[in-house]
Amino acid sequence: MLTLPPGAIPFSHVLSAGPLAGPAKIYAMVNQSGGAGKTTSAVNVAASAAEYGWRTLIVDGDAQCDASVACGYEPDQMEGQATLYDVLLGVANFEDTIVPALAGPYGAKGTVAIENLYIALASSELEDAEQMLATRVGREFWLRGLIESVRGQFDLIIIDCPGNLGLYVVNAIVACDEVIGCVKPGWKELRALTRIELKIEEIKRALGGVKAFLGKVLVVDVPTTRSQGAIYDDSKKSVASAYADQMLPMVRRSPRIPEAYAAQKVLRIYDRTGEVTQDYYDITKALGFKRRKK
Ligand SMILES: Nc1ncnc2c1ncn2[C@@H]1O[C@H](COP(=O)(O)OP(=O)(O)OP(=O)(O)O)[C@@H](O)[C@H]1O
Ligand SMILES: [Mg+2]
């Protein structure tokens, strides 16, 4: 069992208080290749929406646990705390994996909970998730069932995906309303968006009742972006023209992002007035999650 900081509202209290007015909008952050800024974006859009007054859930389905870590938790060090892996094993309920996101490392002096923000925790054992899912009946619908069970408790749910298009990511696509394709600026990355679209089409053809589509494109200038200069600028323009209607504001490159991650803080708490923090507020507003009127 976790010892939450004073003032944190456990998810069990949210559940017993009853549903919110509207069912959550569900996004999946997807890209086939790793290191495209998916987790950073999932966590920081979610944190901005939470600040604007929207009750928000991040679903961490990645064995790297990066989103869980960014929200203050090291799931593999927390004996007895349920994770998505336990749900997959059938020994925990999904709601037991949902904990308040923290504004610093769990257990550290002064760490408080972030109002309105929750995370469904991952664990490194999720490495086995693909094989475990593969043999199930309804294997593509596992995550949808879990998420639908808490949809009424949230305004926004963001599923952070591992960097592939495997069975867990298929589950995330099936569970979401819209996919956000997260890419680095570059020619190769532009092709990655086409692959995501083809994958969504394939899923829709094979399975009934899937409503997801590539709703938005988010370009994040991560440090591993290969080319700078003319080709790089051209490729940014070509992503922008090919996906004009779907483009979210771009995220600039900033050392604040790895620093915030190392401090286990979301950006708006680590660097309240930073430019890249503002980028994420702009994206959140572009998704329709503006400051909620009281
Ligand atoms: N705008 C940015 N500026 C500088 N560094 C960034 C930026 N966005 C992300 N990073 C760094 O780039 C790395 C990859 O980012 P992130 O973990 O968000 O990508 P990811 O797509 O979730 O990766 P994976 O597929 O491995 O889960 C991280 O070290 C992160 O701190
Ligand atoms: Mg990630």
- In a 3-state reduction of DSSP, which class is residue 250? coil
The Å distance, Cα 119 to ligand 1 centre, comes to 19
Question: What are the start-end ranges of the H helices in 128-186?
Answer: 129-134, 142-148, 167-175
Taking the C-alpha atoms of residue 243 and residue 249, their distance in angstroms, rounded to an integer, is 12
Question: 139: closest CA among 94, 170, 163?
Answer: 170
Angle at 113 between CA 108 and CA 117, to 5 degrees: 135
Nearest residue (by CA) to ligand 1, atom 30, is 258
**Eight-class DSSP state of 149:** T
- Backbone angles phi and psi of 157, in degrees to 5: -130, 125
Closest atom of ligand 1 to 31 CA is 21
Fold classification of 20-181+255-278 (topology level): Rossmann fold (3.40.50)
Nearest residue (by CA) to ligand 1, atom 10, is 222
**Cα 268 to chain centroid, rounded:** 16
Taking the C-alpha atoms of residue 111 and residue 6, their distance in angstroms, rounded to an integer, is 9
Domain ranges (residues) in the chain: 20-181+255-278
User: Which protein residues are within 6 Å of ligand 1, measured from CB?
Assistant: 34-40, 62, 64, 66, 162-163, 220-223, 251, 253-254, 257-258, 261, 276
Q: Please choose from 29, 40, 165, 196 the residue to mutate so as to test ligand 1's pocket, defined by most ligand atoms within 8 A of CB.
A: 40
Could you read off the pLDDT tens digit of each residue along the chain, which spans 294 residues? Answer: 789 998 999 999 988 887 676 699 999 999 988 889 999 999 999 999 999 999 999 999 999 999 999 999 997 778 899 999 999 999 999 999 999 999 999 999 999 999 999 999 999 999 998 999 999 999 999 999 999 999 999 999 999 999 999 999 999 999 999 999 999 887 777 788 999 999 999 999 999 999 999 999 999 988 876 555 666 666 667 777 778 889 999 999 999 999 999 999 999 999 999 999 999 999 999 999 999 987
Q: Which ligand is nearest to the CA of 41?
A: 1
